[in-house]
Amino acid sequence: MSSETLIEIKGLNFSYGERSILKGIDMTMLRGKVIAIMGGSGSGKTTLLRLIGGAVRPSSGYVKVAGKVVHELKRDELFQMRRKMSMLFQFGALFTDLSVFDNVAFQMREHTDLSESMIRDLVLMKLQAVGLRGAHDLMPAQLSGGMARRVALARSIALDPLLIMYDEPFTGLDPISLTVIGNLVRRLTDALGMTSIVVTHDVQESLKIVDYVYFIAGGVIVAHGTPAEVRGSVMPFVHQFVHGEEDGPVSFHYPAETYASDLKLEGGFA
């Protein structure tokens, strides 16, 4: 089971209008694994998650999830597949007017016919898994940032997904909460036999918990490997990331006109 492929991506191309974002991406992600996707700002990481979730269509190539080509699914099939995927954004966006309990129960009530007593048991189980069973009566405003992130995590596993995609799960957390969230991602993936994809800039934290890393730059995969391979890599790009250097193959600057021409210093003054 654990060496089964959950996601297969082949020759994936994607453009926003004329602007090519992903250029021939190939990836294989196995069940039960935690995979990190790293790359500079604007390199197309979030776009890749949206392609996996079927929110946008590739220009060519495909994403297969559990053996099915996502962009070929009919509307109701896509809907069903999305139920098996969870997408967790930076701030988790809890419903502010619902308690912790009701936030986690929300999708169970929406999408299943489970009785309230069954839902209660399941919600408490999910909250127990993130260490917050005791906080079930609190409102989101009463939670710390790290706790809110854990409730969002409990909510994202409410329907026992096959896949969770985390977009920048570590952003804005203090070092302790960051380790807590990282360890939870690992433990939940193992305990529930899910696959987790983590888009992150936090190299050090993610190398501690992931099985495999892909680096994206300029719309292509420029490096990939296990955390040990990544740490030992002498590739300038990987080195820049692992050692947090500001400039290198990944440029600090968004492509721009020369400064001089932007400031109209070229070609004389009118």
CB 138 within 8 A of CB 99: yes
In the complex with ligand ATP, the residue whose CB is nearer, 55 or 265, is: 55
Nearest to 34 by CA among 148, 182, 220: 182
**CB of residue 149 to ligand ATP, shortest distance in Å:** 18
Q: What are phi and psi of 188, to 5 degrees?
A: -65, -40
CB of 167 to ligand ATP, least distance (A): 7
Which of 170, 136, 152 lies closest to 94 in space, CA to CA? 152
Q: Least distance to ligand ATP from the beta carbon of 154, Å?
A: 25
> Closest CB to ligand ATP among 31 and 45?
45
Assess contact for 222 and 215: CB atoms under 8 A.
yes
User: Please, what is the minimum distance in Å from the beta carbon of residue 241 to ligand ATP?
Assistant: 12
Q: Please give the angle made by the CA atoms of 179, 185 and 187, to the nearest 5 degrees.
A: 100
As measured in angstroms, the least distance from the Cβ of 56 to ligand ATP is 8
Residues at the interface with ligand ATP (CB under 6 A): 16, 21, 39, 41-47
**In terms of CB distance, is 100 or 202 closer to ligand ATP?**
202
Nearer residue to ligand ATP within complex by CB, 49 or 108: 49
Indicate the residue among 126 and 224 with the shorter CB distance to ligand ATP.
224
